[in-house]
Amino acid sequence: MSDEEETASQLTDNQKIEIAKWFLLNSPAGEIQYVAKDIRALLKNERLYLAAVSEAFPLYNKSHLICLEFPDRSGEVMVTSFSEIDKNEYIDPRTAQVAIIDHVKQVIEDARPAKDEELPSSYVEEYRSALDVEIIKYVSEAYPKGVCSVYCTSGKDVEEPGMDFELVVVICAARHSPQNFCNGSWRSVWNMEFKDELQMVEVRGKFEVGAHYFEEGNVQLDAKHECKDSTVFQSADDSAVSLTTIIRHHEAEYLNSLQKSYSKLPDTTFKDLRRKLPVTRTLFPWHNTQQFSLTKDIQKSLGLEGSK
């Protein structure tokens, strides 16, 4: 028995499940199915495998904001913690439908109309739908393969001015190209608190960018960023335009900062990682490091070329 097999035999079933879950939850964007296949082969125990995937896949799907198409192609639903109604039910406020999800297969098994209590009041819906329209315009311009949705997470029953409510904007742009050994995704979540007494809308944004290159190697990018802003509480249409402008500004600013840091990689990080004289005994061409820049490749994998 090898050392690896002996170590594995000493682990309890719960420990094996937790280790399997860790690998599944840390799979790069678009790669959990490949990781699951390898874990199944390594565990050699269907009961342990099913226990691990049944817990890991829902968490992974929600954290990666995956988007699934309804069987009748009437729309799409984003799998997020904000759209979750029940364990396997997720609402699409744009079409007022609820999708029943198979998390492990990552498909919609069935769909039903949303109930009245699952939808916001007409007053809140006016703000939600107006913001949704503006966000769709922005995402279509900024992210070639982007998807988005707007949810009401608090104050769903507010019927008229005088009370607070909260909307959340979710944006995801993924580029999966495993045949070219690269996958990547952009994910941003914007919480917007409409405060009637202060006549202000407080905005909090969180970004996550991930990229994975695995041709003859394994290079991963995992970047996170948070920001805050605010604007005046206005009519539904005016608030939608103002809030979308804030999102556009902060996301463009962050993307520009990432691109600047990438352009410096050949002269800083990569240079420090290499030996003065490689094992090939050939000097590295520091005079022409731009040929090793990852900027364009990362932009392409994330589908961010031409974004503003």
pLDDT tens per residue, range 1-59: 555 555 566 899 999 999 999 999 999 999 999 999 999 999 999 999 999 999 999 99
Q: What is the pLDDT of residue 128?
A: 98
Q: What is the C-alpha separation between 56 and 17, in angstroms, rounded?
A: 10
Q: What is the C-alpha separation between 191 and 169, in angstroms, rounded?
A: 7
Which distant-in-sequence residues (6+ apart) come within 8 Å of 65 by Cβ? Answer: 78, 79, 80, 170, 172, 187
Q: Is the separation of the CB atoms in 288 and 267 below 8 Å?
A: no
DSSP secondary structure code for residue 28 in this structure: P
The count of C-alpha atoms lying within 13 angstroms of the C-alpha of 151, restricted to the half-sphere facing its C-beta, is 22
3-state secondary structure of 47: helix
Q: What is the C-alpha separation between 264 and 3, in angstroms, rounded?
A: 43
Question: How far does Cα 4 stand from its chain's mean position?
Answer: 35
Which distant-in-sequence residues (6+ apart) come within 8 Å of 2 by Cβ? Answer: none
Q: What is the pLDDT of residue 9?
A: 66
* Mean pLDDT, the chain, whole residue set: 88
Alpha carbon dihedral 73, 78, 79, 85, in 10-degree steps, equals -90
Q: Which domains does the chain have, with CATH numbers?
A: 3-63 (3.30.1140.60), 67-116 (3.30.1140.60), 135-267+294-302 (3.90.1150.210)
Q: Give me the phi and psi of 286, to 5 degrees please.
A: -65, -20
Sign, Cα dihedral of 288, 294, 300, 303: negative
Q: What is the C-alpha separation between 307 and 252, in angstroms, rounded?
A: 8
pLDDT tens per residue, range 232-285: 999 999 999 999 999 999 999 999 998 887 777 666 666 665 555 566 666 666
Number of other residues whose CB lies within 10 A of the CB of residue 9: 8
Q: What is the C-alpha separation between 207 and 223, in angstroms, rounded?
A: 8
Q: What is the pLDDT of residue 145?
A: 86
pLDDT tens per residue, range 87-131: 899 999 999 999 999 999 999 999 999 999 999 999 999 999 999
pLDDT tens per residue, range 213-233: 888 778 888 899 999 999 999
Q: Which of 105, 68, 73 is nearest to 83 (CA)?
A: 68
